[in-house]
Amino acid sequence: MKDARRAALAALVCAVAAQGASPVLVRGAADTRALTILQSELQRNFQTLKQQPAPAYFISYTLHDQRSTRLVASFGAVDSNDESRNRFATVEVRVGDYDLDNTHPIRGDSRAMGPRVARVALPVTDDEQPIRLALWRATDRTFKQASEALTRVKTNVAAKVKEEDPAPDFSREDPQTYTGDTASYSLDVKAWEARLRRVSAPFAEDPLVFRSNVSLSVDSDNRYYTNSEGTQIVTGDVACRLFIQAVTKADDGMELPLYQSYFASSPSGLPDEKQLIADARSMMDMLARLRKAPLVDPFSGPAILSGRAAGVFFHEIFGHRVEANRQRNVDDGQTFGSKVGQPVLPAFLSVVFDPTLRKLGNVELMGHYLYDDEGVKARRVTVVDKGILKTFLVDRAPVKGFTRSNGHGRAEPGYVPVSRQSNLAVESSKSVSTEKLLDMLREEARKQGKPFGLLFDNIEGGFTNTGRGSANAFNVLPNIVFKIYTDPSRQPELVRGVDLIGTPLSAFAKIVATGEKVDIFNGICGAESGGVPVSASSPPLLVSEVEVQKKAQSQEPPPILPAPRQVEKS
């Protein structure tokens, strides 16, 4: 569905490695042979295609050279061991001119195809002829599609009402040249398999943990970008991700998942095996507690969102609504379309997006990059300053009033870049201690005549809908929730079975205060341009009113027979 844009931040994708057999990061001088081949083929095509009756005015080639290793173990045994190496290019051709080109949104036709790039497999070696051949064919195909699309665009512009926001289709940017080091890794697979067996083994002790695994993914991506405006960029990154997951079931059939993820770009930032096993053990304890935890009924009242939960809350309800491409689409909710210069959040809050930030404290941030996927230099963007909306996250598709990209055009390799989030950070000038925040929560509950408020301690992810076709709502999916009673002598009570829901504008208006300790959520955000790595960091938030609804629940009962090992022991 084109207009029901669901964008999800999945917790499922972060990572680590431990000391000892940590992946070794190798940085080499840039290998520019691939870039030279790309440039010469690009120029050859561009010189001809710009002379055509419907001329191409822009071509870009991006080559990704990727290698990945993925190891998975569960209950003490290795499940899979996959290794892959591939190289491919994406080709973008624009026909028309900067003001009106083939990517212009088609109005009133829900089936209209969005702009596309061609993705083509390339040899893994620098063999010039087969690479040029693949690029030439992909360029020709993309050019023909773009010419056809431009005809449809021109007809649509003539046939529909005058547009509210006649911003140009493509921004003019200064050409960039950057040659970073290419990256590769070497991994002691045997040692890592042994480590994953040991970290995954404890879960076998709990017969009620039905699914569990520990996985390590190490990916290197060397990216070569060039376009007809003269930009040439080479970057290399390695991402190591370790992920522990375990799922149990309550007696009523409700699945209770917990996830723990670690991310690092080099061995020094990763927890050791002892830490990983300790984390696995504490997940097991929490799963056992969750199985016994009572259900919460749908409720509206005050709540505290922990730093991680608040980060995802902001990513979903705020971040996706300041992506500029949504302001261009007439089917989009455009929550903030005309609110620049106006207050959109409480005055004690600022929101920045900073892809140049590698780390926050000791934690590496997944949303770090130097150049975006349109070859624009990354920069820190203050979107909200003391409650006032200043700008949007802009890619090279301008919106009214913002004619230049601010380095947020991003895509999963193979998709068309659009404006997406990077490292989101919520900054507050009204922070109070954790104790004080809990007191304020109790006070707010008393004022509303509620016996308790909720504390959302951890979350697995969330999603939102920014289209007009259905409710402009968000869901945040918590997996650890406590009831905080107004009577301070009552201990917080672990509960289960609810999701946090709401609508954006009313949710922002109800943020009352923030805590002090900033926490970070690293994850992969999925939307129209594929999955991109992002982070969201925030202090805990006190919200005077949230609503929770019942979680979707499996009707499958737990297994009939007990787990095999239990039988043997008895």
Partner 1 sequence: MRTTSASACLATLGLLLALSPAPHAQETPILSAMRDEMTRSMADLRMKGEPAPYYIEYEIDDISSMRAIARLGGVVDDVSDHSRTLRVQVRVGDYQFDSSRFVTQDRGAAGAVASATVPLDDHYDAIRREIWLATDTAYKRAVTVFAKKKAAFQNRAAADQIPRT
33 binds partner 1 (CB under 8 A): no
Q: Which residues are CB-neighbours of 91 under 8 A, at least 6 positions away?
A: 59, 60, 61, 117, 118, 119, 120, 135, 138, 139, 142
136 binds partner 1 (CB under 8 A): no
Residue 109 or 127: the one with the smaller Cβ distance to partner 1 is 127
| Nearest approach, Cβ of residue 130 and partner 1 (Å) | 4
Residue 67 or 396: the one with the smaller Cβ distance to partner 1 is 67
Residue pair 117/416 in contact by the 8 Å Cβ criterion: yes
197 binds partner 1 (CB under 8 A): yes
| Nearest approach, Cβ of residue 140 and partner 1 (Å) | 17
| Nearest approach, Cβ of residue 24 and partner 1 (Å) | 22
133 binds partner 1 (CB under 8 A): yes
Q: Which of residues 45-74 bind partner 1 (CB under 8 A)?
A: 73-74
Residue 252 or 439: the one with the smaller Cβ distance to partner 1 is 252
Nearest to 16 by CA among 325, 363, 305: 363
220 binds partner 1 (CB under 8 A): no
| Measured CA distances, 13 to 248, 260, 408, 437 (Å) | 20, 10, 21, 31
d(CA 42, CA 302): 58
d(CA 333, CA 389): 17
Which part of the chain contacts partner 1 (CB under 8 A), choosing from 34-42, 80-88, 93-101, 299-307? 80-88
d(CA 72, CA 75): 10
Q: Which of 4, 113, 124, 288 binds partner 1 (CB under 8 A)?
A: 124
| Nearest approach, Cβ of residue 318 and partner 1 (Å) | 36
Nearest to 439 by CA among 265, 566, 304: 304
560 binds partner 1 (CB under 8 A): yes
| Nearest approach, Cβ of residue 211 and partner 1 (Å) | 8
Residue 294 or 559: the one with the smaller Cβ distance to partner 1 is 559
| Measured CA distances, 328 to 225, 324, 335, 397 (Å) | 26, 7, 12, 9
Residue 131 or 441: the one with the smaller Cβ distance to partner 1 is 131
| Nearest approach, Cβ of residue 131 and partner 1 (Å) | 7
Residue pair 107/156 in contact by the 8 Å Cβ criterion: yes
| Nearest approach, Cβ of residue 250 and partner 1 (Å) | 17
Which part of the chain contacts partner 1 (CB under 8 A), choosing from 99-107, 267-275, 421-429, 552-560? 552-560
Q: Which of 61, 75, 225, 369 binds partner 1 (CB under 8 A)?
A: 75
Nearest to 412 by CA among 261, 263, 524, 265: 524
Q: Which of 87, 104, 291, 483 binds partner 1 (CB under 8 A)?
A: 87
Residue pair 216/71 in contact by the 8 Å Cβ criterion: yes
80 binds partner 1 (CB under 8 A): yes
Nearest to 402 by CA among 107, 174, 165, 229: 165
| Measured CA distances, 560 to 167, 207, 556 (Å) | 62, 12, 11
d(CA 421, CA 408): 7
d(CA 440, CA 438): 5
Nearest to 307 by CA among 483, 457, 522, 90: 457
79 binds partner 1 (CB under 8 A): yes
Which part of the chain contacts partner 1 (CB under 8 A), choosing from 26-34, 75-83, 149-157, 365-373? 75-83
In the complex, the residues that contact partner 1 under the rule CB under 8 A are 73-87, 121-125, 127, 129-131, 133-134, 197, 204, 210, 556, 559-561, 563-565, 567
